[in-house]
């Protein structure tokens, strides 16, 4: 079992053996999904829900999963489907089952037009080490930080962990990090002064939002802590605004937890509350065959009725 550092055990969803058996059977019979526009079709969601409802014990994980993500102290969850991945493999049958479970949280959708519903995050030895496909430290961030309507949840499914045993996922409660800021940094992070990233080939995430405030005055379940550590080096910030963002980054690191995803695990992060990243992969990636290197799949979720700020 991989080490869990400073994490709450009730955020890790383990399935009873009987439910695993039911879900293995269900996974082998789920039909292919249909996407309408950018979203998983209602007809697919209804079919998948009917199948899940046929498993008597599924309600025993539905409630804890939603509480871990959205309760008073919610923000992330890890659903452990390793035994199911062992039985079904991690191909289409497994992805249909994972999609069905995620559709109980919110609506799966594909904001990137050039990629499918499940987007691959592989290991590229030629990529910038700090990128999601790189081999180095991927600092804390939220996904699509520069969209007026970022995904409400981001999901990472482990197809292959780093065979060298590293690359732990890191998470931090962004709201708690903000609560520890000095008043002056809080005020500076509320300024419309930050920017990061490009904006193209995107669907259903609103408009480009640049510059943006890191902190907004929205309620916690609607607003975001719009943060990516990469903006510290790439957005041409003034000294005071950069110092405030660095203070927030330090507070996120101080409160971080880590967990090394295993085959079949999927991590769900509520982007309104938590940020995520990755520790470096193990040294010696050049000695690992490409087909054996770490591979994750990413899927985004949209809550019904989501809104965002007007583009500046």
The pLDDT score that the predictor gives to residue 200 is 86
pLDDT at 312 (0 to 100): 36
Q: What is the pTM of this model?
A: 0.94
What is the pLDDT, as a whole number, of residue 1? 47
Residue numbers of the chain with a pLDDT score lower than 70: 1-9, 234-235, 305-312
Backbone phi, psi, residue 133, to 5°: -95, 0
- CATH fold for domain 4-302: Double-stranded beta-helix (3.60.130)
Beta bridge partners of 13: 79
Q: Which of 23, 18, 105, 114 is nearest to 68 (CA)?
A: 105
Locate the domains of the chain by residue range.
4-302
- Cβ-based neighbours of 299, under 8 Å, separated by 6 or more: 98, 99, 102, 108, 117, 118, 119, 154, 155, 157
CB contact burial 51-83 (16+ within 10 A = b; e otherwise): bbeebebbeebbebbeebbbeeebbbbbbbbeb
How do residues 235-260 score in pLDDT, each as one tens digit? 678 999 999 999 999 999 999 999 99
Q: Dump pLDDT digits (tens) for 196-221.
A: 988 888 999 999 999 999 999 898 88
How many Å apart are CA 176 and CA 140, to the nearest integer?
14
What does the pLDDT read at residue 306?
55
């Amino acid at each position: 079992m991989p080490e869990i550092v400073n994490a709450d055990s009730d955020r890790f969803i383990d399935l009873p053996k009987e439910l695993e058996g039911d879900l293995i059977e269900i996974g082998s019979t789920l039909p292919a999904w249909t996407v309408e526009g950018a979203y998983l079709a209602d007809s697919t969601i209804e079919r998948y829900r009917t199948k899940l409802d046929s498993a008597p014990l599924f309600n025993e994980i539905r409630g804890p999963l939603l509480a871990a993500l959205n309760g008073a102290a919610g923000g992330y969850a890890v659903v452990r489907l390793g035994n199911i991945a062992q039985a079904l493999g991690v191909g289409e049958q497994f992805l249909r089952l994972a999609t069905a479970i995620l559709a109980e949280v919110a609506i799966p959708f594909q904001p990137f037009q050039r990629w499918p519903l499940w987007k691959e995050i592989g290991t590229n030895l030629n990529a910038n080490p700090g990128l999601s496909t790189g081999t180095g430290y991927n600092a804390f961030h939220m996904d699509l930080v520069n969209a007026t309507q970022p995904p409400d949840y981001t999901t990472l499914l482990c197809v292959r962990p780093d065979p060298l045993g590293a690359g732990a996922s890191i998470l931090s409660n962004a709201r708690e990090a903000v609560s520890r800021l000095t008043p002056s940094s809080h005020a500076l992070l509320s300024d419309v002064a930050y920017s990061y990233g490009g904006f193209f080939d995107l669907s259903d995430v609103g408009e480009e939002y640049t510059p943006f405030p890191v902190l907004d005055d929205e309620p916690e379940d609607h607003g975001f802590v719009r943060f990516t550590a990469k903006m510290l080096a790439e957005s041409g910030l003034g000294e005071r605004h950069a110092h405030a963002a660095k203070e927030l980054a330090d507070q996120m690191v101080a409160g971080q937890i880590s967990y090394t995803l295993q085959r079949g695990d999927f991590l769900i992060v509520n982007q309104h509350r938590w940020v995520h990243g990755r520790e470096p992969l193990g040294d010696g990636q050049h000695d690992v065959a490409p087909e054996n290197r770490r591979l994750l799949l990413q899927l985004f979720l949209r809550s019904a009725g989501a809104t965002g700020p007007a583009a500046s």
